Amino acid sequence: MRIVADGGLWSTGPAVADVPEVAVIELAGAVLAWKVDDPAGAAATRITFTDATAAEWLWRLVGTTGHAALLDALDGRDPGAPIDLPGIEVAAEAVLPLRRLALGHWARRWWPVTLRDGIVGLDPAILDAELAVLTAQAQEFLDGDAMDGDVTGLLRRHRAALLHHRGGGDPRVVALVDTAVELADEVGAWDAADLLVVPDIATSERADYALAAGTGPAQSTPLAVAGGVQSLNWASVPPGVFDAADETVDWRVETVGSTAVATVRVAMIGATPATDIGVRLRSGELSAAGVLDADGAARLEIVDAGEVPLTEGRAWNHDWAPTIVSVGADLGDSPEAAQARHRIREFARSRLQRPASDAFLAEILAAESDY
């Protein structure tokens, strides 16, 4: 094992990947990370120490001798020149449950649901229930104040959905829900306040079926001046709102009376509204900004650098080729980010086509429903 300095902390190697390709879990005293589609799997574990003395679980991964050697090497030593510790390795088998937890948290945020590319979603209640059970089983590793150790947070919003699943008849689901219900009662995840927010399961399912047809790109009209499609940067938007395919941002410029406006529509997925998510259009000296409505659409006033509204005549004479539309946080996009999205879609598709040994029940159910 080689310990290197990274960002003022000691780590067992360089960063494995950037989001959305990295799965991480925060433990007591350290953060573990893996590239989600790395064929090396658990063997390619990166450990970044936030407080090595608090990582009392470390002996489980590197043995008691390795644990002692690591503590001795890092004791009172500021991150600097690399430290080589021959003979110390992370035991892949020991880290498997932690990697699975990290993958589950990754799936909550980054699972690429897309109607256009045919990747079905994971049931959030089932996924969170299994994550909560696994988290409770891994408490000796976790920091009680860390987000990844919040069993209550995983269960709190799913009371109605889990009780609905309990009557579904699938013995795998019933067994998981029974365990999750017992755990919820044990940790006090559900209280009277939760009864005030009970999702309409039937309505949610009807919404999903309606969305399965897809909205598709908005069609040009005779008054359309220009238009095009662009892709979302996943890191810019909340999870579970938009279709994870590329080229799902449809924009056009059209004339309304003597002025020109921009309309933007983003392909949606699921029942979560896009209300108030920011959207911006830039084209040379022209710009437009606003927010999406619940259905992922917006109509924006286009102005020039002097904040003067764009007239119809100027709209027809403008070169719209360099137009950029961004949704959510203004992080931009790049070929590397597009390639990462492609790899993540392929990773998810492969797990649905051939569920892995560490597959969550939510993945297995999604694979069975995807026919």
Strand residue runs (E) in the chain: 2-6, 9-11, 22-27, 30-35, 46-49, 83-84, 224-230, 249-256, 259-266, 278-283, 286-291, 297-301, 324-327
- Alpha carbons 29 and 116: distance in angstroms, whole number: 42
Same domain for 288 and 368, yes or no, is no
- Going by C-beta distance under 8 Å and a sequence separation of 6 or more, which residues neighbour residue 333? 230, 231, 233, 326
Task: Confirm whether 215 is domain-assigned.
Answer: no
Q: How many domains does the chain have?
A: 3
Task: Confirm whether 217 is domain-assigned.
Answer: no
Residue range 220-225: mean pLDDT, rounded:
64
Residue range 192-212: mean pLDDT, rounded:
39
Same domain for 278 and 347, yes or no, is no
Residue range 310-339: mean pLDDT, rounded:
93
- Alpha carbons 50 and 31: distance in angstroms, whole number: 7
Backbone angles phi, psi at 141, to 5 degrees: -95, -25
Is pLDDT at 203 greater than 50 in this prediction? no
Same domain for 239 and 325, yes or no, is yes
Task: Lowest mean pLDDT of 220-229, 329-338, 349-358, name the range.
Answer: 220-229
Q: Which of 56, 85, 102 is the last residue of a domain?
A: 102
Structural domain containing residue 267: 224-333
Residue range 242-254: mean pLDDT, rounded:
96
Global pTM reads: 0.87
| Whole-number pLDDT of residue 2 | 94
pLDDT band per the 50, 70, 90 thresholds, residue 210: very low
Is pLDDT at 223 greater than 80 in this prediction? no
Same domain for 298 and 282, yes or no, is yes
Same domain for 31 and 178, yes or no, is no
Same domain for 368 and 326, yes or no, is no
- Alpha carbons 283 and 323: distance in angstroms, whole number: 4
Task: Confirm whether 279 is domain-assigned.
Answer: yes
Residue range 334-340: mean pLDDT, rounded:
93
Task: Give the β-pairing of 46-49 and 324-327.
Answer: unpaired
Same domain for 7 and 68, yes or no, is yes
- pLDDT, tens digit, for every residue of 2-59? 999 998 999 998 889 998 999 999 999 999 999 999 988 888 999 999 999 999 999 9
Same domain for 230 and 194, yes or no, is no
Residue 100 carries which side chain, given as an amino acid letter? R
Same domain for 312 and 348, yes or no, is no
Residue range 261-272: mean pLDDT, rounded:
92
Instruction: Sort residue 208 into left (φ over 0), alpha (ψ -120 to 50) or beta.
Output: alpha
Task: Confirm whether 42 is domain-assigned.
Answer: yes
Is pLDDT at 195 greater than 80 in this prediction? no
- Alpha carbons 103 and 126: distance in angstroms, whole number: 15
Residue 279 carries which side chain, given as an amino acid letter? V
Same domain for 144 and 236, yes or no, is no
Task: Confirm whether 205 is domain-assigned.
Answer: no
Q: Which of 79, 102, 125 is the last residue of a domain?
A: 102
Cis-peptide, bond into residue 273, ω within 30° of zero: no
Q: Which residues pair with 292 in a beta bridge?
A: none
Task: Confirm whether 306 is domain-assigned.
Answer: yes
- Alpha carbons 357 and 42: distance in angstroms, whole number: 12
Residue range 264-287: mean pLDDT, rounded:
94
Same domain for 77 and 118, yes or no, is no
Backbone angles phi, psi at 223, to 5 degrees: -90, 0
- pLDDT, tens digit, for every residue of 134-180? 999 999 999 877 778 899 999 998 999 998 988 878 999 999 999 99
Is pLDDT at 345 greater than 50 in this prediction? yes
Task: Confirm whether 120 is domain-assigned.
Answer: yes
**Residue from 184, 112, 106 nearest 152 by CA:** 184
Is pLDDT at 63 greater than 90 in this prediction? yes
**Residue from 286, 367, 290, 364 nearest 327 by CA:** 290
Same domain for 328 and 236, yes or no, is yes
**Average pLDDT over all residues of the chain:** 89
Task: Confirm whether 149 is domain-assigned.
Answer: yes
Q: Which of 77, 102, 127 is the last residue of a domain?
A: 102
pLDDT band per the 50, 70, 90 thresholds, residue 371: low
CA-angle at 169, arms to 165 and 172, nearest 5°? 80
